[in-house]
Amino acid sequence: MTDMFPLLLLLPLLGCLFVLFAKKNDNNSFHVVLFTLLSNLAIIVRLLTQIHRDNNDLQSFHFSYPWLESKGIELAMEANLFSLLVLLGIYVAFIIAVVGLLPQQRKNKSQMLLGLYFIWNITGLLCSNDMVSFYIFFAGMLIPLFLLIGLYGNIKKNSTLYLFFAFNYAGILCLLTAMLFVYKYHQGNVELQDIALIKMPVGSAMVVWTSVCMAFISRIPIWPFHYWISSINSGLRSSLVCVMTNMLPLTGLYGFLRFWQITIPKGILPFVPVVEIFGIMTMLFIALIGLSHKDFLQKLFSYNTVYYLLFLLTTIMLPEGYIINIAYSLITFLIINASLTVLDLWAENSCEENNCDYRGILAYMPRLAIIFAFFVLVAVGLPLSAMFWNNFVLISAFFRVSFTHGLLMMTAIAIISMALLYELFIMRDTSNKNPILEIEDISDKKVTFFVAVIIFLFMSFFNPLWFAF
Amino acid sequence: MLESIIYLSPLIVLLSSIFILMFSEHNEEEHYRCFRFSKFMMLTAFALTVIFYNKPLIEEVTLGNKYTLLFECMMYGGGLALLYLSRKWFASMGVSGYTFCGGIFVALLFGSLLIRSNNLLLSVVCCVFMMMGNYALLKGSSVKKEIKSEKIYMFAMVFCILLLGVSLFILYHYNDSFAYEQIKETLSINTGDVWLFTAVAAVLTVFMFMLGLAPVHFWFTETLGGTVLPVFAYFVMVPIGACWGGFIRFNTEAVGSFAENFYLFYKAIALISISLGALGACSVQNVRKILAYGTVYHWGIVLLVMQSFSINAVNTGVIYILVYLLAMYGICVCLFGLKIKGEYLFMLNEFEGAAYKRPYISAMMTIFIFSLLGIPPFLGFFGVFSALSYLAKHDSFYQFGYIMLMLIVLSYAYVQIIKNLYFEKSKENFDRADSGIYTAVFIIALLMIIIMLKPQYLMQDVYRMIESLFL
């Protein structure tokens, strides 16, 4: 079974190669991407099944590649329960995003190629177990994302696009700084969990951990760095690119989780309260912005930010035991996120095609309305998926640590939930007397697909690993 | 005697090629003949160079080893690639390629000698001829009738020749010999001598001028922005190997421990180059100028890393040079593949929407640009990794931070190229690129993939070659 693990990384690369030589303006590249995603999903489920069957949560799968032996660099890859669970969420989210592409978008070869390359990078990031491979995949993600946002982001200001690049590039260079300092004191590559154990002077430790923090914060829209990530989200109209940008903070969050696996390093300890305060303030601030926004995708961006910050604060403030709750929550969170993005883009597309108002659109599309409502209700935290239990555990733990912190977080979550519910109300509201009589609802195939996703989520309410047989 | 002539055969081939090209009939319609002949002669010279790499070309004044072979390979590789790429340009423009091919042979001839030289007089002669060859190429190939910087180049060249003359005179006065070994001995005894310091500084300044390092970079950035594409490609592909090879050799074999006096000088030059390179690239709209300023930035990093000229410093610098050269070869190939109505592109706005018309070439150009920025998994990562890890290892934290900062600044200029390639609508119809361009891009990409998968070819084998300089 371990032999299947390298395939996880190999398949997306092979897929890229096939897409590269696929015909233009054809669905071939779309099929290649879908096939790659499904194959990798099957491998992930199989690996999870093995862990579940052996009843050993600490079990992991390994492989290594002797890359640069003279410099002591061997690339070590590892998949454990946490990374596999997050990968599961990511792959299901990507499948939803790819299925959600409009017919014209499916024929877009460059989008498919860059999307698959991004998937390869994010898979590698979640499987990397050493500093160098982590850096390579962390940095590699910027290229497809930058190109896709530039191509499909409808960004009018040149400066916005460049600042997005520069901000992320600076983050990459920060991680490179940390990596080179660690390399200097360890004389070779080092596994991620051992970084905190390396002995180095106080000043150097400070540089390493500050650089690590800056690198990951560059991916998480925490105040005052939130603007460059939020500004690129507004014009996106491709479900694949939307899902990709929404996963950007996940890479930062995962970085924190891996680097601070055992404990928060001493070098950065004095700054932790500052990050906590900024994190909670950003949660409230972004939730309020989400409430005031009129665009659903912007509200969804705010929702994502609030939840990513919740997970980040869990990493910083709560003991290690809660990490698995983040993983279970993340699966549902990523799926909800992708589903809502796709459904909203379908609704918007229907409005454009029929030249009608966005307000009340769901009243004319009953099938879409039911599915949309389900996902909004799951997103706001109703007991319909594993997210309910895990968020309950996390927030109650926050209340135990600090009542004020817990209360503020709860307030932020309540505000952003209200924002989503209000949007659902707007989309079903027919008071503006939209003159349209008939709008084509989503097809049977799409309904079947989303019913399967709903069943997947609903079953996770009872057992998050129900599919691992 | 016969043995010496055989060892001299690469030079004989190069020299005879120059004469044949000079005296043959310059027939513009049969340009392919000149290129075919040049390719054949260059390949022959290259093969002979590789076979006799460790034999002295000229007894007592040259010495060949694996180090010299490495830099000669850089030169010949660039020269061959250039001949392969530029043939179409001369064909489409209806211009005779005899002068151009002759110029490349001049660079190869004197470049090879410069790399192998362990005698200052020979090195100076080579530098002078290379500069004159460069000037001839610049003069005969500018797009505009007259580029102001050409004149400046000529004056600077004359000044450089004077500087070299003065330094030769001073050093001969102290040594009675031009041998590197002898100069090293004298310098190690007279560490505080102002005249010797001045003489060595003059020679180093000339090398820096040839490399295009700031503040004597003006000719490099200005003229490259206005020259035709083959000449631009020549300057970023061919003389680089010779200049760096000769510069490193002069520093290690002639300057030796005296180099400590130049640490501050090197650091200042390197930091100025890094700053001017990054900021200059952001201030121009001409793509070739952006790339030229980028080169100034990258050479600044190389000089900053190599300032001590220890084996590790040189190894790091050479890795950076190799990675840079490979990326620049790639970019030059892509520039040869992008043209509108037979005209090769200069300005940023001319590249608008190229990705929609020429997707593969644009994609490769983007990859090479990202490689120059050191973003993994592309090859440039090794260069940045080597240089920065070297600086971190030697506690040069401020320089480390400054390079990073300027890299972010430089990224603005490079991103502008990508932005125009991808994010702007295409207004023009790009000409069809011939299969040779795709073949060249494919070969470079393949080379990059091989090195990325097996980086020991770059990181370990290069070290073994550099080692021979210090034995």
Torsion of CA A70, A71, A76, A82, to 10 degrees: 170
Q: Which helix (H) or strand (E) holds A73?
A: strand A73-80
More confident call, B416 vs A230: B416
* DSSP character string of B85-132: HHHHHHHHHT---HHHHHHHHHHHHHHHHHHHB-BHHHHHHHHHHHHH
Task: Please give the residue of chain A at the shortest CA–CA distance from B356.
Answer: A110
Task: Please give the residue of chain B at the shortest CA–CA distance from A156.
Answer: B423
B376–A67 C-beta distance less than 8 A? no
Instruction: Give B55-82 pLDDT, tens digit per residue.
Output: 877 777 888 889 999 999 999 999 999 9
Q: Which residues, at least 6 apart from B127, have a Cβ–Cβ distance to it below 8 Å? A: B110, B114, B160, B164, B206, B207, B210, B246
Q: Does A67 touch chain B (CB under 8 A)?
A: yes
**Nearest by CB: A150 against B377, B385, B423:** B423
Cβ atoms of residues A366 and A120 within 8 Å: no
Q: Does A55 touch chain B (CB under 8 A)?
A: no
> Would you say how long chain B is, in residues?
471
More confident call, B32 vs A148: A148
Instruction: Please state, rounded to an integer, the average pLDDT across all residues of chain B.
Output: 88
Q: Which amino acid is at A459?
A: M
B370–A140 C-beta distance less than 8 A? no
A147–B422 C-beta distance less than 8 A? yes
B455–A67 C-beta distance less than 8 A? yes
Q: Which of A70-79, A163-172, B279-288 has the lowest mean pLDDT?
A: A70-79
A176–B375 C-beta distance less than 8 A? no
Longest dimension (CA), chain A: 73
Q: Does A294 touch chain B (CB under 8 A)?
A: no
Cis peptide bond prior to B239, omega within 30° of 0:
no
Q: For residue A379, how many C-alpha atoms fall within 13 Å in the half-sphere facing its CB?
A: 31
Q: Please, which residues bridge with residue B430 across strands? A: B340
Cβ atoms of residues A465 and A327 within 8 Å: no
Query: Would you list the domain boundaries of chain B?
Result: 2-470
Residue A183: its chain B contacts at CB < 8 A?
Answer: 389, 392
φ, ψ (nearest 5 deg) of residue A79:
-120, 120
Looking at CA atoms only, how far is residue A114 from chain B in angstroms?
A: 11
* pLDDT in the model for residue B280: 93
More confident call, A86 vs B26: A86
* pLDDT in the model for residue A163: 86
Residue A142: its chain B contacts at CB < 8 A?
Answer: 375
**Nearest by CB: A170 against B359, B392, B408:** B408
The three-state secondary structure class of B189 is helix
**Nearest by CB: B376 against A139, A170, A184:** A139
Residue A184: its chain B contacts at CB < 8 A?
Answer: 389, 392-393
Q: Residue B344 carries which DSSP code?
A: E
B385–A166 C-beta distance less than 8 A? no
Residue B408: its chain A contacts at CB < 8 A?
Answer: 166, 169-170, 173
Q: Rounded to an integer, what is the distance from CA B426 to the centroid of its chain?
A: 33
Residue A110: its chain B contacts at CB < 8 A?
Answer: 355, 359
Q: In whole angstroms, give the CA distance from residue A16 to residue A116.
A: 6
Q: Which residues, at least 6 apart from B359, have a Cβ–Cβ distance to it below 8 Å? A: A110
A151–B422 C-beta distance less than 8 A? yes
The three-state secondary structure class of B277 is helix
Q: Which of A71, A129, A213, A66 is nearest to B393 (CA)?
A: A71
β-strand pairing of A73-80 with B343-344: unpaired
Q: Alpha carbon of A419 to those of A109, A380, A424, B32, B206: distances in Å?
A: 36, 10, 9, 71, 68
* pLDDT in the model for residue A447: 92
* pLDDT in the model for residue A235: 75
Instruction: Give B381-405 pLDDT, tens digit per residue.
Output: 999 999 999 999 998 889 999 999 9
Looking at CA atoms only, how far is residue B408 from chain A in angstroms?
A: 6
Task: Please give the residue of chain A at the shortest CA–CA distance from B360.
Answer: A20
Q: Which amino acid is at B182?
A: Q
Looking at CA atoms only, how far is residue A68 from chain B in angstroms?
A: 6
Q: In whole angstroms, give the CA distance from residue A455 to residue B256.
A: 75
Cβ atoms of residues B287 and B270 within 8 Å: no
Q: Which of A48, A58, A90, A2 is nearest to A464 (CA)?
A: A48
Q: In whole angstroms, give the CA distance from residue A10 to residue B50.
A: 39
Q: Does A140 touch chain B (CB under 8 A)?
A: yes
* pLDDT in the model for residue A434: 58
More confident call, A134 vs B141: A134
Looking at CA atoms only, how far is residue A152 from chain B in angstroms?
A: 9
Roughly how many angstroms between the first and final C-alpha of chain A, as a whole number?
15
Q: Residue A74 carries which DSSP code?
A: E
Q: Does A71 touch chain B (CB under 8 A)?
A: yes
Q: Which residues, at least 6 apart from B416, have a Cβ–Cβ distance to it below 8 Å? A: B290, B348
Q: What is the mean pLDDT of residues B254-282?
A: 90
Residue B392: its chain A contacts at CB < 8 A?
Answer: 180-181, 183-184
* pLDDT in the model for residue A429: 79
**Nearest by CB: B459 against A68, A140, A183:** A68
Q: Which of A142-151, A175-184, A301-310, B84-93 has the lowest mean pLDDT?
A: B84-93
Instruction: Give B348-380 pLDDT, tens digit per residue.
Output: 888 888 888 888 899 999 999 999 999 988 999
Task: Please give the residue of chain B at the shortest CA–CA distance from A176.
Answer: B385
Instruction: Please state, rounded to an integer, the average pLDDT across all residues of chain A.
Output: 86
Q: In whole angstroms, give the CA distance from residue A55 to residue A41.
A: 21
Looking at CA atoms only, how far is residue A263 from chain B in angstroms?
A: 26
Residue B385: its chain A contacts at CB < 8 A?
Answer: 176, 180
Portion of chain B with pLDDT greater than 70, in percent: 96
φ, ψ (nearest 5 deg) of residue B148:
-60, -40
**Nearest by CB: B411 against A67, A136, A165:** A165
- Compute how many other C-beta atoms are within 10 angstroms of the C-beta atom of residue B354: 25
B377–A140 C-beta distance less than 8 A? yes
B400–A177 C-beta distance less than 8 A? yes
* DSSP character string of A396-446: HHHHHH-HHHHHHHHHHHHHHHHHHHHHHHHHH--TT-----------HHH
B385–A70 C-beta distance less than 8 A? no
Confidence check: pLDDT of B464 > 60: yes
Residue B394: its chain A contacts at CB < 8 A?
Answer: none
Q: In whole angstroms, give the CA distance from residue B22 to residue B433.
A: 31
ipTM for the predicted complex comes to 0.90
Residue B377: its chain A contacts at CB < 8 A?
Answer: 136, 140
Instruction: Give B90-117 pLDDT, tens digit per residue.
Output: 877 777 778 888 889 999 999 999 999 9
Looking at CA atoms only, how far is residue A241 from chain B in angstroms?
A: 15
Buried b (16+ CB within 10 A) or exposed e, A78-113: bbbbbbbbbbbbbbbbbbbbbbbbeeebbbbbbbbb
Roughly how many angstroms between the first and final C-alpha of chain B, as a whole number?
28
Q: Which of A62-71, A277-286, A305-314, B269-278 has the lowest mean pLDDT?
A: A62-71
Instruction: Give B221-238 pLDDT, tens digit per residue.
Output: 888 887 888 888 999 888
Q: Please, which pLDDT band fits residue B27 given cuts at 50, 70 and 90?
A: low
Looking at CA atoms only, how far is residue A431 from chain B in angstroms?
A: 41
A176–B422 C-beta distance less than 8 A? no
* pLDDT in the model for residue B387: 94
Task: Please give the residue of chain B at the shortest CA–CA distance from A188.
Answer: B389
Looking at CA atoms only, how far is residue A139 from chain B in angstroms?
A: 6
Confidence check: pLDDT of B298 > 90: yes
Residue A70: its chain B contacts at CB < 8 A?
Answer: 456, 459-460, 463
Residue A68: its chain B contacts at CB < 8 A?
Answer: 455-456, 459
Task: Please give the residue of chain B at the shortest CA–CA distance from A186.
Answer: B393
**Nearest by CB: A166 against B370, B385, B408:** B408
Looking at CA atoms only, how far is residue A350 from chain B in angstroms?
A: 27
Query: Would you list the domain boundaries of chain A?
Result: 265-469
Q: Which of A25-29, A257-261, B21-25, B142-146 has the lowest mean pLDDT?
A: B142-146
> Would you say how long chain A is, in residues?
469
Confidence check: pLDDT of B252 > 80: yes
Query: CB contacts < 8 Å between A and B, how many?
Result: 73
B376–A143 C-beta distance less than 8 A? no
Q: What is the mean pLDDT of residues A98-114?
A: 90
Looking at CA atoms only, how far is residue B277 from chain A in angstroms?
A: 18
Task: Please give the residue of chain B at the shortest CA–CA distance from A172.
Answer: B375
- Compute how many other C-beta atoms are within 10 angstroms of the C-beta atom of residue A400: 10
Q: In whole angstroms, give the CA distance from residue A64 to residue B38.
A: 47
Q: Does A181 touch chain B (CB under 8 A)?
A: yes
Task: Please give the residue of chain B at the shortest CA–CA distance from A142.
Answer: B375
Looking at CA atoms only, how far is residue A349 from chain B in angstroms?
A: 23
